[in-house]
Each structure stands twice: as C-alpha cells, then as structure tokens.
Amino acid sequence: MYGSKEVSMHHINNDDLVKITASLVENRVEGPYVCLNPHGINYSEIAQAAFYNFNSKAIIHFLKVKAAILGDVFGRNDTLRQKIGFYSHVSVEDGVRLIALGRFA
C-alpha cells in the first residue's frame, strides 16, 4: 500500500450501482449527484476480505516512501439516496466473497 496511513474510500458495488441506476431511470431523476457507498472503506479492509475469501496468507505493508493514495474528493452526500430511497446493501466482505465464488465456480 502506498503512503503511511489508511485512506477511507467510498467504493460502491456494481450490483448496488445497477439498482441505483435503474431507480434513477424509473423515477426520472435527473441532475448531478454523488453516488458513493455511505460507509467508508479502506484498502486494508478490501485486502483482508480478499485474503480471507481467496485463502491467502499475504500481509499488507505500507510503502512510506511512496505518496499516499488520495481519499475521496466528493465527500458524503445522501441527497440521491434520500431521493430514490435506496442505500447500498452489498458490504465489502460480501462483494469480495461474490467475486471469489464467481472465480471458483
């Protein structure tokens, strides 16, 4: 991992993105909105979920000589989710598990 600390990101699972997009079309919602996972996720959480689901014994190391990855630039904004009444349902653990199941199927 680049940098010396964790950066909180707000990645969204593809399944949630598809549901949000369908709801936007169905409800004819227009305009620019922030569409991020309301729960901050850091890269070590994603890595730990991947290590577990892919049966890996890998260890995370921070490369302090490299510049840290930038965090989210949009900030949290629930306007879109309130408008369509949908909040992300797929956790990082579940998302990685689904990827692992697809690769091992």
pLDDT at 105: 54
Q: Does residue 30 lie in a domain region? A: yes
7-11, 29-33, 93-97, range with the lowest pLDDT: 7-11
Q: How far is CA 86 from CA 41, 58, 70, 78, in A?
A: 19, 35, 27, 10
Q: Does residue 2 lie in a domain region? A: no
Q: Does residue 20 lie in a domain region? A: yes
* Cβ-count burial 51-73 (b if 16+ within 10 Å, e if not): bebeeeeeeeeeeeeeeeeeeee
* Mean pLDDT, rounded, for 43-52: 88
Name the pTM for this structure. 0.70
Look up the domain containing 72 and give its range: 8-104
Q: Does residue 96 lie in a domain region? A: yes
What is the tally of structural domains in the chain?
Answer: 1
